[in-house]
């Protein structure tokens, strides 16, 4: 709820349902006697205006407090999501580093085993040639 008092003395209040004029009871000036009635009435009117202004500011502060609370809640929620995503990014970077290291180790092992396989292929070819030569010698006897 927001209440506003304009310079011309008109007060308006607003809530989620709409805007409404606010009517305050006129200050009772009865009971004052003597020539100071006008002065006392003016003093009472100023006091009433100040009270209305104070109440209006209280309503405004209440509205701003709710607005700030909502904004702070949204900010904290957003910050929490940011931290979760940031932590996930850090974990993924670490995992990527580990994976790249593992991949480099596997690549080195593959090259080493490939060289061993090629060496074994050459030895097998030599062995097959020796076997064939020996078989030919046996067949010529």
- The C-alpha atoms of residue 56 and residue 6 are separated, in whole angstroms, by 11
CB 13 within 8 A of CB 3: yes
pTM of the predicted model as reported, rounded to 2 decimal places? 0.46
What band does 140 get if pLDDT is binned at 50, 70 and 90? confident
Dmax over Cα atoms in the chain, in whole Å? 158
The token pair that represents 13 in the structure block: 């209040």
Q: How many residues does the chain have?
A: 141
Mean pLDDT of the chain: 82
Q: Where are the domains of the chain?
A: 2-24+32-117
Q: What is the pLDDT of residue 141?
A: 80
Q: What percent of the chain has pLDDT over 90?
A: 62
CB 12 within 8 A of CB 22: yes
């Amino acid at each position: 709820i927001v209440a506003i008092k304009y310079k011309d003395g008109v007060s308006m209040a607003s809530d989620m349902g709409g805007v409404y004029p606010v009517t305050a009871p006129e200050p009772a000036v009865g009971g004052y006697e003597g020539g100071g009635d006008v002065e006392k009435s003016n003093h009472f009117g100023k006091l009433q205006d100040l009270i209305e202004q104070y109440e209006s500011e209280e309503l405004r502060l209440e509205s701003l407090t709710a607005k700030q609370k909502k904004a702070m809640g949204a900010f904290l929620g957003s910050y929490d999501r940011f931290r979760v995503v940031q932590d996930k990014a850090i974990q993924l970077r670490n995992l990527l580093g580990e994976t790249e290291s593992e991949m480099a180790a596997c690549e080195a092992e593959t090259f080493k085993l490939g060289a061993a396989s090629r060496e074994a292929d050459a030895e097998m070819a030599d062995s097959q040639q020796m076997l064939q030569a020996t078989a030919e010698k046996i067949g010529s006897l």
